Amino acid sequence: MKKCSILLALSAVVTLTAAETSLLLAGTPDSLATSAKTEVQTKLLDPLQKRDSTRSRFSRASPPPMSRRIRILDSSAKTDAKGHSFVAFAIDESYGMPSNEESAWTKNTITGCVYPDTGDVLVKRGEAYFDPSMLVGAKTAAAPAEVCQAK
């Protein structure tokens, strides 16, 4: 009985320590950037790439880029008027042959913000923010004015 309670206590300590560690890691700038990048990749770039592959090439629309990269612009999360935290991101695009040179990238072709807590991604067009599905053709209304605006 004693052995059993010691084992239970030990497993509780291990679980708590692991949870504490993951919470601490989640707050670090690196993990914030990584989780934000994952959200942008999944909710914005993957659908965009899928759409690019089916587009007509005999059109006056901009050609799809050869590659895109995500930059997280904030090292720490900002808070909007409703108290939700977010980070800003920018997408750079590169056309033509792949190159390691910085000049090969056209910067800030898409900008927006990510809410790490909810995983929501929003893209900026003009002065308003929209759901990323707007960039693959969906007709979506603009998000409320306070989103992605630090208070």
Binding residues vs other proteins (CB under 8 A): 51, 55-63, 95-97, 99, 104, 106, 125-126, 128, 134-135, 137-139
Least Å distance between CB 62 and other proteins? Answer: 5
Query: Which of 83, 96 has the CB closer to other proteins?
Result: 96
Residue 150 Cβ, how far from other proteins at the closest point, in Å? 22
CB of 124 to other proteins, least distance (A): 10
Considering the complex, state which of residue 57 and residue 151 has its C-beta at the smaller distance from other proteins: 57
C-beta of residue 41 within 8 angstroms of C-beta of residue 34 = no
What is the residue whose two structure tokens read 């910067």? Answer: 107
**Residue closer to other proteins (CB basis): 134 or 143:** 134
Nearest residue to 33 (alpha-carbon basis) of 83, 88, 84: 88
The CA-based dihedral angle spanning residues 108, 34, 79, 126, taken in that order and rounded to the nearest 10 degrees? 20
Cβ atoms of 85 and 117 closer than 8 Å = yes
